[in-house]
Structure formats: C-alpha cells, structure tokens
Amino acid sequence: MSVVVDDPLIAGMSIARTLPLHESSRRLRELYPECPRVYGVAVMSDLTRRRWWPLAEALTTDRMRDMFQIAALEMDNPLAAAQQLAATMAHVVVGRVIPLIVLEGRAWDTGLENLWVHVDSEGSIDWVGVVDPTLRALPDDPFFADRGDAGVADFARDGMVRLPNEAALATWVAHRSHRALGPLFARLSEISGGAISQSSMWHMVGSAVVGAATQIPLLARSSELTSMRRAQAVLDALVGFGLPVRGESRFRDRKALLN
C-alpha cells in the first residue's frame, strides 16, 4: 500500500486557477506518492520563492561552480562531481518532462528561461518549477475534444497549445532542451576543467530519456510501446540536431530502446 506524503511545498501551493499543467502534475505525483516531487513540476506563480532560483543563473552567477566545488570536495573526486552535476542538469531539463510526454502526450516548455529549481538545505536541487505553465499537446488530447469549436487563442489562454503530431511534439521538446542544455554543459565543462567531455554529458541525456521511458509504464501500467515510441522520437530529434545522445541498445522484454 502506498504511503501518501504531505509535502510542505506542495501543500503550501496557492493555485488561483487550475490549468492543465496542474492536473497533469497531480497525476504524475500520484505515480510515486511516497516522494511526490519525483514527477511533475511546480508553477512558480503558485509558490513563495524561498530556496528557488532561475536555472539561467547557472550561467550568470557562481551557483553551478559552488555546486561543483562542494560535490568535488565531498566526493574527493572532480570527475564524479562533474558526472553527478551533468546528470542533474539532464534530469532537470529533459528527464523531468519525458514522463509527461510518454504518458499523456503533453510537454511543458523546457527552455532555460522557463525553468526554476528548488534546493534543499544543503544546496542540492530537489524540485523543478516553470514560469510559463502552457503545455504543448497532441491533437487527440481530451482537453481539445472537451472544448468543441474553441479557437487557438482560447486554448492558449487555458494553458494548452495543439501540435499536429508526435513528431512535432518531440522536435519542439528536443529543440528547447538542446537550447537549454547546450550552454549549461558548456558552463559545467568550463568550471570542472573539462573533467568529462560534453559528448559524455549528452549521453547522460540519452540515459535520462531511456530511464524515464522505461520506468513510467511500470508505475502507471501504461503502454510500453507508446512510451518507447515517444521517447525514441525525442532521441531521434536530438540526434537530428547533431547531439551524441545514443549509445548501446538496452533491451527490455526483447524490445530495444536505443540511447
């Protein structure tokens, strides 16, 4: 039996108007109620901003340098610290959104200017928020069917934008994620003295996509085929941008998901 945790940050949210992202994030949190921040994101307008900071500040302040130096000191291993921080950035930007893509065919904006992170008392990132709660979604999303002849502007005001198909959704997410992670990885490479290559960091992105797409069907009892197809589409789009996100095949029940 699952234990529902009353998370103080979630309990303290003040939601003036429930949008599709609120509903999607609630469903994602229900996948793992013991740790409700594992899936889904917060909407920044619902929260006080104590211990939150814009992810873009990783490029303009010493925040990422401080995180790396603390981790390197604790681990006594700059390589491991760089790997840990790269994996964190990959998870914050793309690993977080994959569960929603594979489960509901929806995605929030993973652009750098849209993402905020929450840190615990030790400065480690433990949750993610978005400034703009608008979701992109597939044309067969129930949201659109329930609103009949409403127009694009009406949908956007209600927090949804309709994309034509899965390929368009995957390409949009890959593009926004690429534009966010590219400078983050370059910054990490700089402050770590090139402890790991940027190509290795992008491979971690592939691992984040594969890991999320594999885990969600187990938690949600949803379609493995759909999960793999949508995750592959995101990987394909990232490869199309020239990013080395693929490695060896990983098999589950004789079905390959390449990363």
Task: Give pLDDT, residue 7.
Answer: 87
188 inside domain = yes
Residue 15 lies in a domain: yes
Distance of CA 29 to the CA centre of its chain: 14
In a domain, 95, yes or no: yes
pLDDT digits (tens, 9 = 90+) for 100-152: 999 999 999 999 999 999 999 888 899 999 999 999 999 999 998 877 666 66
Query: What pLDDT shows up at residue 161?
Result: 95
Name the domain count of the chain. 1
Residue 197 pLDDT more than 60?
yes
**pLDDT at res. 227:** 97
Q: Is 126 exposed, middle or buried (0-12, 13-18, 19+ CB in 10 A)?
A: middle
Within-domain flag for 20? yes
Dihedral (CA of 205, 79, 215, 56) sign: negative
At 156, the pLDDT band (50, 70, 90 cuts) reads confident
Give phi and psi for 35, each to the nearest 5: -135, 80
Q: How do residues 227-253 score in pLDDT, each as one tens digit?
A: 999 999 999 999 999 999 986 433 333
pLDDT value for 192 = 96
CB of 108 within 8 A of CB of 101? no
Segment holding 145, helix H or strand E: helix 142-145
Angle at 27 (CA atoms; ends 125, 230), nearest 5 degrees: 80
User: How far apart, in whole angstroms, are the C-alpha atoms of residue 236 and residue 150?
Assistant: 33
169-183 average pLDDT score: 98
Asked whether 94 and 233 are in contact (CB, 8 A), the reply is no
CATH number for 208: 1.10.510.40
Over the stretch 54-82, which tens digit does the pLDDT of each residue have? Answer: 999 999 999 999 999 999 999 999 999 99
- How many of the other CB atoms lie within 10 Å of CB of 216? 25
CA angle 174, 238, 234 (to 5 degrees): 60
212 lies in some domain = yes
Sign for the pseudo-dihedral over CA of 73, 78, 83, 88: positive
Residue of higher predicted confidence among 11 and 99? 99
Look at residue 248 and tell me if it is in a domain. yes
Q: What is the mean pLDDT of the chain?
A: 91
Determine the pLDDT at residue 214.
Answer: 96
Q: Rounded to two decimals, what is the model's pTM? A: 0.90
pLDDT of residue 154: 66
The predicted structure's pLDDT at residue 46:
96
Structural domain of 95: 8-258
Residue 98 lies in a domain: yes
Summarize pLDDT for 6-51 with one digit per residue, the tens. Answer: 788 899 999 999 999 999 999 999 999 999 999 999 999 999 888 9
**Residue 187 falls inside a structural domain:** yes
In degrees, to the nearest 5, what angle opens at C-alpha 44 toward C-alphas 214 and 66? 75
- Match 């340098």 to its residue by tokens: 65
